[in-house]
Amino acid sequence: MALLGKKNLPAIILAGILVSLLPEFISGQNCGCTPDLCCSQFGFCGTGDAYCGNGCREGPCSGSSGGTGASVADIVTQAFFDGIINQGTGNCPGKSFYTRAAFINAVGSYPEFGTGTSDDSKREIAAFFAHVTHETGFLCKIEEDDGASKDYCDETNTQYPCVAGKGYYGRGPLQLSWNYNYGAAGNSIGFDGLNAPETVATDVTVSFKSALWFWMTNVHSVIGQGFGATIRAINGAIECDGKRPDLVNARVGYYTNYCNQFGVSPGDNLTC
């Protein structure tokens, strides 16, 4: 190892001065930020465009989508979110659980969500919330109706074995179901999906992350094939190919409504 000579001392002093001038809220390059701070593309915690803008890794990111200047946060406004959740009727547990802030926080962990052109971004966001609206009844349901009485244990899946006494029924914005989804989502997000599947119904950020995990794992890759392909990816075995045209048309109705709100064409191949 070469030792530094005296001629390098000014550079060392300058580096020390620059480090001392960094804002106090910056943490190390491994992030681990508190929920109210963004993890920047360089691995520091903070607020503002330098941290929450382009390249933001996690937290309440507001980075541009696909370099177009549009962002998920700009498209999913509080008014848009409220326009969905306020349509829930009766006693809606979701009204005191789901929040736009939690969604924006969760989407920061999935920077590929809503990427592409501005229109591509709007269509993907419209598609995501169309399915969320359908699955939860306007963000009303946190858990599937009578879910505890249903068996969502695939005993043939040895990678993610069911835990006795735990139910893997629908929870969250996309009603995550089955042990293999809970196990894989938990590993990806960082919660014990097999031993504590109820976390998806008690931690709102984990809840939105579980929906985004499912979306990015199973749906994002087919978004370019039209909205119908996203229906098939989510519930095709039950709804597509003429099985439940009423449910398919309901999803399409939400999607076209949200596309209209965003001022974008819904594209072709809407049904499955």
Alpha carbon distance 45, 59 (integer Å)? 9
Beta strands in the chain (DSSP E): 38-39, 45-46
Helices 204-218 and 118-136, axial angle in degrees (round to 10): 120
Name the phi and psi angles at 58, rounded to 5. -160, 170
> Is 135 tagged catalytic?
yes
In the set 58, 112, 124, 135, the catalytic residue is: 135
Q: How many helices (H) and strands (E) does the chain have?
A: 11, 2
241 Cβ contact list (under 8 Å, min separation 6) = 272
| Three-class DSSP category at 132 | helix
Alpha carbon distance 217, 7 (integer Å)? 54
Name the phi and psi angles at 127, rounded to 5. -65, -45
Alpha carbon distance 210, 200 (integer Å)? 7
200 Cβ contact list (under 8 Å, min separation 6) = 171, 172, 176, 182, 185, 193, 206, 207, 210
| Lookup result for tokens 């894989």 | 184
Alpha carbon distance 55, 62 (integer Å)? 9
**Bridge partner residues of 176 (DSSP):** 171
Catalogue the active-site residues: 135
